[in-house]
Amino acid sequence: MTSPTTSPQPISVSDAVGYAKAAVDAMPMLLVSGEVSGFRGPARTGHCYFQLKDESAAMDAIVWRGIYQASGIQLRDGLQVLMAGHFQIYAPTGRLSFVAKSLQVSGEGLLRQQVAALARRLEAEGLMDPSRKRKIPQFCSRVAVVTSPTGSVIDDVKRTLARRNPLVELLVSGCAVQGEGAPAQIIRALGRAAAAGPDAILLVRGGGSYEDLMTFNDEALARAVAACPVPVITGIGHEPDTCICDMVADRRCSTPTAAAESVAPAIDEIARQFHERERRLAKAMGDDLSLRGQQLDVFGQRSGQAMRTRLGTLSQQVSSLAAHRCLQDPMASFEDRAAQLELSAQRLHDAGPRTVVRQSQRADELGQRLVGVAPRMLRQHEATMARAAAQLDALSPLKVLGRGYAIMRDGTGHIVSRATQVRVGSEVSVLLGDGGVNATVTDTFENRG
């Protein structure tokens, strides 16, 4: 021990750090609670470096890779943790750090960690899959509300529905929304609400602390919401608050008021949509009728053209048949055959008596055959001529006159087809089925019907 008048003997930095390190190593393991700050990691090596602090102090902290992975915690700034470990001095820099041997979340952070783990498990089961969630009717006429029967939340929902659409029927299924036993009460209230057969169920409550909202992170309640036979819409707490019931519900809204608005479109908006659809339907019907009218016009034109073409073809066929020589002169074939026979007879006469005899006999035979063939030849042409005559008779204007119609001609011989072609006092001739008459026009008129 040195006297007051003597100076201590100097030592090296290494010795000084060694003394400090020895003192620190002799300290027992400590359990320290604090907030993570300045988090860096996991680094390339997998280790985590940050400061652990409270209201008045801070210390460097290290969590080695194996400890961090075993904890299952996602470290971040602001997280409250419990660290068991001891202090350690790093000799090259003389830096003091608290090295963790174990790590866990504390306080609200522990609750959040537990909720996150439950959310991951339910998500893995498919309870949060969007394809599982049911479509909520665009216009709900009957809505059930599951919430506390007292307080401002139920009043807000009633006012919102009355303001936006007073036609919506509201059913209230009361229950506790926080505290011990609240999840079981909410599950029973959901069952009562679903049994009433509404279009949708609103599961709502006002804001509160994270602990107050823990009721809606209950696993049994979350499964009841997911299994509810009626679509469930949540409005729990305020905008930043999200709980597991929000995640498994068919629709999540930020507040109870927003949940009520989502199932009750404003009645003036409904009226606007109704009138818009009425207008669109009328326009569609008008367009369809116009299109069908155009199609009928085209069909009529095509039908008329087809009929005119067909009549023209038949008329050409009749004209062609009428031009055949056998129809114009039925005896022409016999005359031609007789001329041939006469020519043959002349040749036989010129060929000599013997030839004449043979040719005469041959001529007699041919004559006899001709007598038998002629009727058969005539029958075919007579039938063709009869059909042609019938077609000509059907197309003849005289046939039309026989049914009571008449053909009028003016003084120049032109056919009169309109009343405006003649004047009072002019002379006309009228051709009838069995004759005709000459007349003087005394009056004209037009058809008005």
Residue 447 clears pLDDT 80, i.e. is over it: no
Residue 110 clears pLDDT 70, i.e. is over it: no
| φ, ψ of residue 147 in degrees (nearest 5) | -170, -175
**Distant-in-sequence, close-in-space partners of 446: CB < 8 Å, separation ≥ 6:** 419, 420
What does the alpha-carbon distance between residue 143 and residue 160 come to, in Å, rounded to a whole number? 13
- The structure's pTM equals 0.44
pLDDT > 70 fraction of the chain, expressed in percent and rounded: 89
Strand order in the sheet with 169-174: 169-174, 142-147, 200-205, 232-236, 251-253
Handedness of CA 216, 221, 226, 229 (dihedral sign): negative
Residue 325 clears pLDDT 70, i.e. is over it: no
What does the alpha-carbon distance between residue 131 and residue 161 come to, in Å, rounded to a whole number? 29
**Of the candidate ranges 90-99, 167-176, 361-370, 373-382, the one whose mean pLDDT is the lowest:** 373-382
Question: How confident is the prediction for the chain on average, in pLDDT?
Answer: 84
| φ, ψ of residue 38 in degrees (nearest 5) | 60, 40
Higher pLDDT: 369 or 254? It is 254
- Count of other CB atoms within 10 angstroms of residue 392: 15
Q: Among 65, 63, 11, 5, which residue's Cα sits nearest to residue 34?
A: 63
pLDDT tens digit sequence for 53-106: 988 999 999 999 999 988 878 888 888 888 999 999 998 988 999 999 998 877
Q: Name the DSSP class of 415.
A: B
The reported pLDDT for the residue numbered 1 is: 45
What does the alpha-carbon distance between residue 61 and residue 51 come to, in Å, rounded to a whole number? 5
**Of the candidate ranges 160-174, 241-255, 393-407, the one whose mean pLDDT is the lowest:** 393-407
The reported pLDDT for the residue numbered 319 is: 77
Q: How many helices (H) and strands (E) does the chain have?
A: 13, 13
The reported pLDDT for the residue numbered 108 is: 58
The reported pLDDT for the residue numbered 212 is: 80
Q: How confident is the model at residue 48 (pLDDT cuts 50, 70, 90)?
A: very high
Q: How confident is the model at residue 349 (pLDDT cuts 50, 70, 90)?
A: low
Residue 336 clears pLDDT 90, i.e. is over it: no
The reported pLDDT for the residue numbered 43 is: 75
pLDDT tens digit sequence for 254-288: 899 999 988 887 777 666 777 788 888 888 888 88
pLDDT tens digit sequence for 391-444: 777 666 666 666 777 888 888 888 888 888 888 888 888 888 778 888 888 888
Which SS3 state, helix, strand or coil, does residue 10 take?
A: coil
The reported pLDDT for the residue numbered 374 is: 66
Residues 314-336, mean pLDDT to the nearest whole number: 73
Q: How confident is the model at residue 317 (pLDDT cuts 50, 70, 90)?
A: confident
- Exposure of 326 in the CB half-sphere (CA atoms within 13 A): 16
Tokens read off for 284 = 């569609």
Handedness of CA 284, 285, 288, 293 (dihedral sign): negative
Q: How confident is the model at residue 388 (pLDDT cuts 50, 70, 90)?
A: confident
The reported pLDDT for the residue numbered 312 is: 85
Q: How confident is the model at residue 356 (pLDDT cuts 50, 70, 90)?
A: low
